[in-house]
Amino acid sequence: MPDVTLTTLQGLKQKGEKIVMLTCYDATFARTACDAGVEMLLIGDSLGMVLQGHDSTLPVSVADMAYHTASVKRGNRGAMIVADLPFMANATLEQTLNNSAMLMQAGAHMIKLEGAGWLAESIGQLAERGIPVCAHMGLTPQAVNLFGGYKVQGRGEAQAEKMLADARALEAAGAAMLLLECVPSELAARITEAVRIPVIGIGAGSATDGQVLVLHDMLGLSLSGRVPKFVKNFMQAQSSIPAAIAAYVRAVKAVEFPAAEHEFSA
Ligand code: KIV
């Protein structure tokens, strides 16, 4: 696979071909995902839950993220590597810049920040310094305590209008990509239509420009036994992990995943 760049992603959005992203935390899975055709590897701070066994992403450190980003980089073959800035690593602008630099130096091509319209200044400062940013909106797991649980966001007209306005503002501030988590499908479709940058969804319906899942979820592995509605277990119909990841890639490209049963309504 030729190296996936921002130009590649823009081209995929323009021609209506879905972008496939998957979380990844080590070199072997990075190679396996690339061989299966995954275009974007996300070193998500979900590693705090699926690798470290915490009950939220809050304990994850920048050092943890840098370690796993460097591991993924060693196995990568052409995918775009996106690394999460973990909880409170963007408490100040200076921390945002320094911690993003650390993840870029570990091998990331793009940094993902959780938040909403208030991220505009950080996104602008990072973009000016040559760091592409993905703004993660909707259900942002680092704010689980504020939300009172892992709940769908953007329901009701007022919340929906606010998220749409925030998405536009973050694009104007210089965001290279948006990620929408647990958002009603109709709202995700409106946002995807409203911005020129690619929009990736998880629990946001099939109209977004691409999809992401947590690796362990799509392989049917769960510590808690609670499987979110938007997850599909791709191992069920396959006999190997490479085959399951390839089936996920095919299903996203064919717009067969997510299906209606994985979506949230307004
Ligand atoms: O940390 C993560 O894995 C994520 C995905 C759920 C999008 O942010």
pLDDT tens-place string over residues 227-242: 999 999 999 999 999 9
Does residue 147 surpass a pLDDT of 90? yes
Q: Return the pLDDT at 45.
A: 98
Mean pLDDT of 90-111: 98
Q: Is 71's C-beta closer than 6 angstroms to any atom of ligand 1? A: no
Give tens-digit pLDDT for 186-200: 999 999 999 999 999
pTM over 0.95: yes
Closest CA to ligand 1's atom 5? 44
Catalytic site residues?
181
Does residue 105 surpass a pLDDT of 90? yes
Side-chain-facing half-sphere of 63: CA atoms under 13 Å: 1
Q: Return the pLDDT at 179.
A: 99
Does residue 163 surpass a pLDDT of 80? yes
Does residue 1 surpass a pLDDT of 80? no
Give tens-digit pLDDT for 46-93: 999 999 999 999 999 999 999 999 999 999 999 999 999 999 999 999
Q: Average pLDDT, whole number, for the chain?
A: 98
Q: Residue 82 to residues 65, 152, 169: CA-CA distances in angstroms?
A: 11, 24, 21
Q: Is 212's C-beta closer than 6 angstroms to any atom of ligand 1? A: yes
Does residue 145 surpass a pLDDT of 90? yes
Q: Return the pLDDT at 192.
A: 98
**Which amino acid is residue 212, in one-letter code?**
V
Q: Return the pLDDT at 26.
A: 98
Which of helix, strand or coil describes residue 133? strand
Rounded Cα gap, residues 173 and 188, in angstroms: 20
Q: Residue 117 to residues 77, 128, 239: CA-CA distances in angstroms?
A: 34, 18, 43
Which of helix, strand or coil describes residue 94? helix
Angle between helices 157-173 and 185-194 (to 10 degrees): 30
Rounded Cα gap, residues 54 and 58, in angstroms: 8
Rounded Cα gap, residues 74 and 23, in angstroms: 15
Q: Is 23's C-beta closer than 6 angstroms to any atom of ligand 1? A: yes
Mutation probe of ligand 1 site: the residue of 23, 87, 230 with most atoms within 8 A of C-beta: 23
Strand ranges (E), 99-250: 110-114, 133-138, 177-181, 199-202, 210-213
> Which residues, at least 6 apart from 174, have a Cβ–Cβ distance to it below 8 Å?
123, 124, 126, 127, 128, 133
Does residue 257 surpass a pLDDT of 90? yes
Mutation probe of ligand 1 site: the residue of 49, 54, 84 with most atoms within 8 A of C-beta: 84
Rounded Cα gap, residues 259 and 168, in angstroms: 27
Q: Return the pLDDT at 2.
A: 80
Rounded Cα gap, residues 71 and 26, in angstroms: 5
